Amino acid sequence: MEHHPLLNFYCNPFPGYIFSGRVVYGPDQKHPERIFSTFVAMFIEEGILYFTEGEQTFTLMPGQWFIQTPGIRHYGHRAAGIRTVFHFVHFLPQADWHIENDEMKRESVLSRTMQLDSGEGVRLPQYVMKLPMRGTYGLHSDWFELFHKLQQDVAPGKGVLHKQACFLELLERMIEPESIKEGSHASIQPALAYIRQHFSEPLTVSDLAARFHFSPDYLTRQIKKIAGATPASLIALYRINKAKQLLVHTSNSVQQIGLDSGYPDMAVFSRTFKKMTGLSPLKYRQVQWGKP
């Protein structure tokens, strides 16, 4: 499975929708040279777009999307020779963001959790969204209906919330692969659902394979193909994400949070947490709570 760079950004506040539209190039037209201060997601509908970002060239085909990185020179290095159509969406995270190439790389940007009042544990939830910088989408009416809603002309100040909601739906579709949404690899979906529901319980790849009547090797290959991670890595990711939420939003002890997240062994919990976040559980809580 090909891995693309991931745009990581915090979701409080949610990323902001700015502007969208549809572009049609004739056979001899090239994409103009630009440097934007925002991210620009391009969804190719028809034709071919030959495109350069920085020093790297790309050939974008129908059903593919590409997110331009702000502050980097973009231009079309050649004309397609055929009619080319694509939709674009300008947006910008309103909190810290960074781009990573390693899916399991630790987060290098940390934001403090916003405290609503002095009540214990009363804090605004903080989420990190991982948006692939390149991917594919379905060339069918659901996507184009969403593009149309975003591109509709409205009076100034009208329809702002509706367009932001449509934009968030678009992000959700981009984050969750089309193959998973449309039921591809249907035989593996129950195993993935079981992981999501039972990750905090004692759970091994062998147990999972036996439950769903697969060999461990086959199950590992299929889950990695769909989710981009092995079952063990996926379980660890769910557990650490839950631990992060509990560390921020409860005053429970680190040991109790480890147990609640699926780690009865405190040493394993601390080692895994630090490997995936770069911080110990206690240090992570202190940073998120704004304590030295």
Give the mean model confidence (pLDDT) for residues 108-119: 42
Cross-strand pairs, 222: none
Give the mean model confidence (pLDDT) for residues 90-101: 82
Confirm whether 6-179 and 185-288 share one CATH topology: no
pLDDT recorded at residue 21: 94
pLDDT recorded at residue 132: 86
Q: What is the pLDDT of residues 248-274, one digit of tens each?
A: 888 899 999 999 999 999 999 999 998
Structural domain 185-288, CATH architecture: Orthogonal Bundle (1.10)
Q: How confident is the model at residue 102 (pLDDT cuts 50, 70, 90)?
A: very low
Q: What is the pLDDT of residues 54-73, one digit of tens each?
A: 999 998 888 888 999 999 99
Q: Does domain 6-179 have CATH number 3.30.70.100?
A: no
**How high does pLDDT run on average in the chain?**
82
Pairing of strands 74-75, 6-10: unpaired
AA identity, residue 140:
H
Q: Which residues contact 184 (CB under 8 A, 6 or more apart)?
A: 226
Residue from 108, 109, 67 nearest 91 by CA: 67
Q: Using CB atoms within 10 A of its CB, is residue 154 exposed (0-12), middle (13-18) or buried (19+)?
A: exposed
pLDDT recorded at residue 42: 96
Q: List Cα–Cα distances, 69 to 93, 108, 249, in angstroms.
A: 12, 18, 33
CA dihedral 104, 11, 172, 205 (to 10 degrees): 30
Q: How confident is the model at residue 41 (pLDDT cuts 50, 70, 90)?
A: very high
- Gap between the Cα atoms of 25 and 86, Å rounded: 9
Q: At 28, is the secondary structure helix, strand, or coil?
A: coil
pLDDT recorded at residue 61: 87
Query: Where do the structural domains in the chain lie, given as residue ranges?
Result: 6-179, 185-288
pLDDT recorded at residue 103: 42
Give the mean model confidence (pLDDT) for residues 140-162: 82
Yes or no: say if 43 and 150 are a contact pair by the CB < 8 Å rule: no
Residue 235 host element (H or E): helix 231-249
Length of the chain: 292
3-state SS, 128-139, equals EEEEECEEECCC
Q: What is the pLDDT of residues 170-209, one digit of tens each?
A: 998 888 755 445 444 667 888 888 888 898 999 899 999 9
Q: What is the pLDDT of residues 1-29, one digit of tens each?
A: 456 787 776 666 678 899 899 999 999 99
* pTM assigned to the model: 0.57
Q: How confident is the model at residue 108 (pLDDT cuts 50, 70, 90)?
A: very low
The angle subtended at Cα 96 by Cα 95 and Cα 99, nearest 5°, is 130
Residue from 187, 220, 224, 189 nearest 204 by CA: 220
